[in-house]
Structure 1
Amino acid sequence: MNLGVLGSGFIVTNFLPIWKQYDFYHLRAIWGRHEEKIKQFENDFDYYTTDLKKVFNDESVDVIYIGLPNSLHYSYAKRALLAGKHVIVEKPFCVTYKEAEELINLGKEKKLFVFEAIVTQFAKNYLDFKPYMEKIGQIKIVDGNFSQYSRRYDRFKEGTVLPAFNKELAGGALMDLGVYNIHYTVGLFGRPAGVYYYPNMYQGVDTSGVLVLDYGEFKASLINSKDSKAPCYINIQGEKGCMRCTSTASRVAEIEMILNDGEIKKFSDGIDGEFGASCHEWIEFERMYLEKDFISCHKYNEITLHVQYVLEQAAKSANLPFLLNRELE
């Protein structure tokens, strides 16, 4: 697979070791607006360029990975699909449900793969514990916390607005850490009946907040924070026991099933580090691509759409400003 990468930020830097350890991924091209930023990758890719058309017109590029600010995902992914390229879009997939639905339908129409790069859905521990969910009985409570003090937060308070806290680029805690919590929950239980977001706002940006998902017979309370730090976890409580994840919803480092009758079972893949865990998603992208497994791709697309629905409803409930001037569902 010849990979064309759009963007030069933190996520691209961290994915480089993963791409390089698999012969399947050939790093063909990287694009960015500013040559001084992308030049650092000149030894990693066949070429770097500030000419986007060069990448889209390069017939050897099979797949475009989009690691740009959130608000740009839709427009660049659409251009890539129209150029006949498969697309992998960094989370969050899009800003609105309508945008996400259009991209996924366009991919189906053109028989192209459209993936959301979201480690949670492909984490081995997450997949391994799913068949055991019925053992904890009727779900009553889901409680999660992904709090990670951002090194960019201090700069934001000093007046330097980077993409992570830029309301014009759909920055903020919900559209970053919150995406993992939502994927973890929606991947298990589907689309909720009600969505309510209670953010802490600073200069028009949700730097932290509490998301409540109403599933009728149970409720989920999910904290996402970039302005404070606390131990991260997700607990799923049922009438017969609980599933306890003792890490972030992105890493899913270890899950422990604790039943009321004393039975305990642990799920641990033994992989260190969040980006080490990301290898699972890139292995699965490779498999689906090689086997032309559009059925699995479209199943993941359905989860992405459910997550996109929750994100949009949460943002609407809190009147987050990045939805202004965007067409909603």
Structure 2
Amino acid sequence: MKFSTIGTSWITESFIKAAKHSGKASLSSIYSRSEETAKEFADKNQADNWYTDLDLMLEEDTEFIYIASPNSMHVEHILKCIENKKHVFCEKPMAITEEQLNVVTIQAKKQGVFIFEGYRHLFTPNYQTLKDALPQVGQVRSVLLQYIQYSSRYDMYKQGNVPNILSKEFAGGALMDLGVYPLSMAVDLFGEPKEVDYFPVLLSNGIDGSGTLIVTYEDFNVTIMCSKIAQGTISSEIHGEKGTLTMDHLAPIQSLELYDLKSKETQELAKPQSDLDMVYEVEAFVKMIEENDNAYHDWLLERSRHVVSGLEKARKKQGILFPGE
């Protein structure tokens, strides 16, 4: 399948490499607002064409568009792609509010195209192993998930240059950039939560540099720690009455240990998987389109709805509002 891209960051380059590695998709063209950036990125990634006019790029004979623009621009770009009857693969978060997600969902169905939110960590083999092993811990009683990763962009912020990812204007912050990974995992594993509460550490511009998210379920809570202004070294764990699952990282899981409470033994469950871990979500996306799998598409969108709803509620309780809200 031929595709084009919106966005020229490292994540776009990773997607292009993963798509090529999968053998399922080939790059046709790229879009950037800057002519210099467009030319340079197209040459580096061997794109056939480059554009600074998005409407012109969308006239190309491509099957889907990969979107990795700033968070606040996702919905605008998704709707333009849908209008041109292009399938959409959009990096998380696909939308800022549940209302926005409803709009793009309705429009996608009207145009007969699929929209897909990029959660690379939820499509890897080791994550599937985690899901398969979950019943072995018995009744879940507590969960700790962390994505605490110091960002070099924070150094820019401290020098007075506010990057998109730490800007309210572009819907940045620790929760939207990193907290979305563990929250989407919690929703995928346990379903829609009863309640979501966020306790942020705000920077001087009112954006969250880090924070703790408490996700409430019937019989347990999920504690999520996320940060772009510190570096975590602890594991993530799921604690049950029969055992514990321990992950070295969420995106991707490279080590996954199962501790049995009765035998006191620990077993390593993780297997080697591709370093280009985005390849697995590329394969899932292309397969959905090729098989016209509407049921799978609807299920993915329902998961996305629960995630964006949780993010929105958590932010608004703390007064973290983005333009237009």
Deviation string for 1:165-194 (max 9, x for gaps)? 111110110001101011111110111111
Q: Distance in 1 between matches of 2:23 and 2:30?
A: 18
2:237 is aligned to 235
Contact 1:3/1:28 (8 A) holds in 2:
yes
The root-mean-square deviation of aligned C-alpha atoms, in Å, is: 1.5
Q: Distance in 2 between matches of 1:325 and 1:136?
A: 44
Q: Distance in 2 between matches of 1:160 and 1:53?
A: 31
Amino acid at match of 1:257: L
User: 1:8 offset after TM fit, Å?
Assistant: 0.9
Q: Distance in 1 between matches of 2:261 and 2:253?
A: 23
2:292 is aligned to 292
User: 1:267 offset after TM fit, Å?
Assistant: 2.5
Contact 2:199/2:211 (8 A) holds in 1:
yes
Q: Distance in 2 between matches of 1:257 and 1:79?
A: 46
Q: Unaligned stretches of 5+ in structure 1? A: none
User: 1:16 offset after TM fit, Å?
Assistant: 2.6
Contact 1:144/1:232 (8 A) holds in 2:
no
Structure 1 window deviating more from structure 2 (143-152 vs 5-14): it is 5-14
Q: Distance in 1 between matches of 2:210 and 2:271?
A: 30
Q: Distance in 2 between matches of 1:57 and 1:185?
A: 39
Q: Does 1:303 align with 2:303?
A: yes
Q: How does 1:100-139 map to 2 (within 5 A)?
A: 100-139=101-140
Q: Does 1:280 align with 2:300?
A: no
Q: How does 1:212-291 map to 2 (within 5 A)?
A: 212-247=214-249, 249-262=250-263, 263-271=265-273, 273=275, 276-291=276-291
Deviation string for 1:120-179 (max 9, x for gaps)? 221211112213322211111011211111011011011111111111110110001101
Deviation string for 1:210-268 (max 9, x for gaps)? 00011131111100000000115321111111111111x22122221212122544332
Structure 1 pair 156–266 and aligned structure 2 pair: CA distance change class (3 A): same
Structure 1 pair 4–232 and aligned structure 2 pair: CA distance change class (3 A): farther
Q: Distance in 2 between matches of 1:243 and 1:42?
A: 43
Q: Distance in 1 between matches of 2:318 and 2:260?
A: 37
User: 1:205 offset after TM fit, Å?
Assistant: 1.0
1:145 alignment partner, SS class: strand
Amino acid at match of 1:96: T
Deviation string for 1:65-123 (max 9, x for gaps)? 11100000011101111111101110111111111122123222322111001112212
- Aligned to 2:56, which of 50, 54, 76? 54
Contact 2:89/2:117 (8 A) holds in 1:
yes
Amino acid at match of 1:321: L
Q: Please report the TM-score for the alignment, with normalisation by the length of structure 1.
A: 0.93
Q: Distance in 2 between matches of 1:178 and 1:264?
A: 28
Q: Distance in 1 between matches of 2:260 and 2:94?
A: 36
Deviation string for 1:26-81 (max 9, x for gaps)? 211111101111211233211001011111222x1110111100000011101111
Give me the identity figure in percent.
31
Q: Distance in 2 between matches of 1:11 and 1:124?
A: 20
1:169 alignment partner, SS class: coil
Q: Please report the TM-score for the alignment, with normalisation by the length of structure 2.
A: 0.95
Contact 2:125/2:273 (8 A) holds in 1:
no
2:23 is aligned to 23
Structure 1 pair 232–300 and aligned structure 2 pair: CA distance change class (3 A): farther
1:162 is aligned to 163
2:11 is aligned to 11
Aligned residues: 321
Amino acid at match of 1:198: F
1:208 is aligned to 210
1:251 alignment partner, SS class: coil
Deviation string for 1:275-307 (max 9, x for gaps)? x22211111112222222222122111111111
Structure 1 window deviating more from structure 2 (259-268 vs 1-10): it is 259-268
Q: Distance in 1 between matches of 2:117 and 2:123?
A: 11
Q: Distance in 1 between matches of 2:280 and 2:234?
A: 21
Q: Distance in 1 between matches of 2:32 and 2:199?
A: 35
Q: Does 1:91 align with 2:92?
A: yes
Q: Distance in 2 between matches of 1:29 and 1:96?
A: 30
Q: Distance in 2 between matches of 1:233 and 1:279?
A: 25
